[in-house]
Amino acid sequence: MNRYQAILVVGILAGLLLTAGCTDQGAVKKEQIQPSTPAPTPVKTESPTPSTPEPTQKASPSLFDGKVTEPPAELAVSVSAQKDPVYSNITITFDGGKGQDLIQLIQVRTTLETGEVIEQQLGKKKGDEIAITGTRGLDRVQVMVSYMNGNSYLVMDRVVGQDRAGLEMPTQVQESAINASQEGLYPGPVTQPPNSLSVSVDVSKEPIYRVITGTFRGGHGQSLVSKIEMRAVLGTGESVINQISNNIGATGEMQGSDGIDHVQVIVSFKNGETYKILEKTLGPRG
């Protein structure tokens, strides 16, 4: 190799080295210029926890929503309800009974025709009473008796109307029956109570003095009777009501007329049920 060839080779090598150095420097600079992209931060997504619905608390059933139930004989008591035909005041009276000394509480609920509900306590002594301002329509009276042994009974569930105080109203009353009730008669057909409540009352008219007499003859339901009424519309148009006690042989009397008298016997029981057990037309001589 001559001198010129050696110079040429050295020049070529120098050029190659220079070119390589520029290329590497550019790559480094390019790397430095490129901004580094940070890795995305993972976002933790929490699935919503389903809310557990709170259990709905059901109201405990009340005896007022049930049927009338008669206590055992040793716990028997009587409560009566009457409605004043003029002022519509309702009077609830405790009439006593064998179980009166074992009573813990007597609760009275009155549901007026307007929808208003009134709850009061009734005294435990015979003759205790409470008065409630009723309506001119049909009001419902319920009585629950609680005893010291922990048992409770709904002893009355009765609808009282302005014209038929204290008597259970039939579900449907025709217009003719309403007119009759305003004259002192109880509407609806004669209906005999079930055998467990069966009682008998005789009605007769004395032919000379025209005295109408009702006589209680007893029956299976004698001890369960709360009231016996003898109602009459006399031939004179006068309305008369008399009561008969539930002792065998007990009588009730009213003065009849010289004409035709229309007589009914209405029996109410301690469980709140009422029945018209007799309806009779009596002439001048009975």
Q: Which CATH architecture has domain 175-286?
A: Sandwich (2.60)
Residue 90 has a pLDDT of 92
Q: CA-to-CA distance for 108 and 119, rounded, in angstroms? A: 6
Burial class (CB in 10 A: 0-12, 13-18, 19+), 146: middle
Res. 150 pLDDT band, cuts 50 70 90: very high
How many residues belong to the chain?
286
Whether 58 shows a pLDDT value over 60: the answer reads: no
> Do 129 and 143 meet the contact criterion of CB atoms below 8 Å apart?
no
**pLDDT over 90, % of the chain:** 38
pLDDT band of residue 169 (cuts 50, 70, 90) is very low
| C-alpha 4, offset from chain centre | 128
Whole-number mean pLDDT of the chain? 79
Per-residue pLDDT band for 42 (boundaries 50, 70, 90) equals: low
SS3 127: coil
> Can you tell me the mean pLDDT for 219-243?
91
pLDDT, residue 97, reads 87
Q: List the alpha helices (DSSP H) in 166-253.
A: 175-182
Whether 32 shows a pLDDT value over 70: the answer reads no
Which residues, in sequence order, are CB contacts of 37 under 8 Å at separation 6+?
none
| Sequence spans of domains, the chain | 63-166, 175-286
Residues 212/284, Cβ–Cβ less than 8 Å: no
CA distance 212 to 256: 6
Q: What is the pLDDT of residue 105?
A: 95
Q: How confident is the model at residue 21 (pLDDT cuts 50, 70, 90)?
A: low
**pLDDT score recorded for residue 188:** 82
pLDDT at 28: 46
Three-state DSSP at 5 gives: helix
How many other C-beta atoms can be found within 10 angstroms of the C-beta atom of residue 86?
A: 6
Query: What does residue 238 show for φ and ψ, rounded to 5 degrees?
Result: -75, 140
CATH architecture, domain 63-166: Sandwich (2.60)
